[in-house]
Amino acid sequence: MSSRPPYRHRNDRRLCNRECCRVRAFRHAAIAVLFAAGCVQAREIGMGVVLTETGNVQVSVWGHGRIVPEAIELYRSTSRLDVVPPDTVELPVTVLRFHPDTGRISLVDSMPAHNVTYFYRALVKLDTGQVFWSEVDSVSMPDRDIGDITGSSLLVDKLHYFLEVRDGGRMRKRFPIALGPKPRERKLHFDRASTPEGVYEISDERPQASFYKAFDIDYPNGVDRARYAIAGETGMIRRSGGGYPSIGSGIQIHGQGIGGNWTFGCIALRNEDIDELFEHQRVGTGMPVIIVGSELSRKDIRSIRDYRTEDELRAVQLKLKRLGHYRKDADGIMGTGTRLALGRFQHANRIPVTCDFDARTTELLAETE
């Protein structure tokens, strides 16, 4: 088990006040998103958030005096965001960036989780170089049922801090999560800090675990081992104590709270949320778990999972062999040799070493003669 006791934030609890959100929405409606005109009269920045009928969060920003916004950063967390700038390492904070054009500005958070209270704070950067912070506002997200699912999978979004239960290509429910002290890094080796990214599956279920209940994830898999090998081959891993750190193991989805980024690289949920997952008959061993973050996006995962014929793979192998990266006979099989060759190609072209057909690599291979 790769986690440590949870960081306890004083506001690690759920709040529920949907009517208050609706009142704020009505109050702010006349002045919402006044930046649409290109500039507003402002000496200080105000902000309000409201839940929309579609389940998104609409953010309104306004002020008094004359300002021209160059950029807006919206900070969202299940913690209160009392301090500015918010600690985006210690706390599970999502940063949404908006770059105004000459047209209308729309500040919409379209990726919230369910059954949780979010706190928001806006940072407005002006063309004069001035920076203004809004006060904190909050919104309570409604709950929803997972329901019946057939072609089910779990999607962990490290940047938006949620675990999503999916049925085919549809989202059924999102649960808020916390990570470790390196929340935006992709795990390469044992570090007690970062979470892997890629395509995994639940390898075991632990109804009694060190941190309440847990699902084991099959890290490291073949892709992780190829990345680790290339890192050693190219000097990306630093020696420590006379040797290289191990690749690591023991990644779980477990309980015991989301008050801060407190795990050793695992994915933490609230106890009631892990209970709900354990109670659902379709969630368990063998279920695919897709993890996206700073290195692998949803677009990359789609590219990785695209079907490639034997002839297509053989053509890639021959191209990589001409470039000096593939060191076997071209056999049209997506094995370790192909993954290592992809890693060498990526390292040579200074793109993230994924050892897989992510979107950047696929496009670059198509352009390479």
Q: Where are the domains of the chain?
A: 18-140, 152-296, 300-367
Q: How far apart are CA 305 and CA 114, in angstroms?
A: 28
171-204 per-position pLDDT tens digit:
999 999 999 999 999 999 999 999 999 999 999 9
For residue 36, which of 122, 104, 110 has the smallest C-alpha distance?
Answer: 104
Pairing label, strands 117-126, 162-167: unpaired
210-219 per-position pLDDT tens digit:
999 999 999 9
Q: How far apart are CA 162 and CA 306, in angstroms?
A: 25
**Confidence check: pLDDT of 342 > 70:** yes
Architecture of domain 152-296 in CATH?
Answer: Beta Barrel (2.40)
CATH assignment, 300-367: 1.10.101
CATH number among 2.60.40.10, 3.40.1350.10, 2.60.40.1180, 2.40.50.100, domain 18-140: 2.60.40.10
Predicted pLDDT at 306: 97
Predicted pLDDT at 101: 60
Mean pLDDT of the region 12-17: 39
Predicted pLDDT at 64: 63
Q: How far apart are CA 62 and CA 85, in angstroms?
A: 20
| CA pseudo-torsion sign 82, 85, 90, 92 | positive
Angle at which helices 222-234 and 336-348 pack, to 10 degrees? Answer: 50
- How confident is residue 66, by pLDDT bands cut at 50, 70 and 90? low
Mean pLDDT of the region 359-363: 98
Higher pLDDT, 6 or 20: 6
State the amino acid at position 126 in one-letter form: L
For residue 98, which of 120, 66, 65 has the smallest C-alpha distance?
Answer: 120
What pTM did the predictor assign?
A: 0.88
Q: How far apart are CA 352 and CA 340, in angstroms?
A: 13
Answer yes or no: are the C-beta atoms of 227 and 198 closer than 8 Å. Answer: no
221-269 per-position pLDDT tens digit:
999 999 999 999 998 888 777 788 999 999 999 999 999 999 999 999 9
Distances (CA, A) of 88 to 70, 76, 81, 155, 291: 22, 10, 10, 21, 19
- How confident is residue 15, by pLDDT bands cut at 50, 70 and 90? very low
The neighbour count for residue 218, using CB atoms within 10 Å, is: 15
Predicted pLDDT at 103: 44
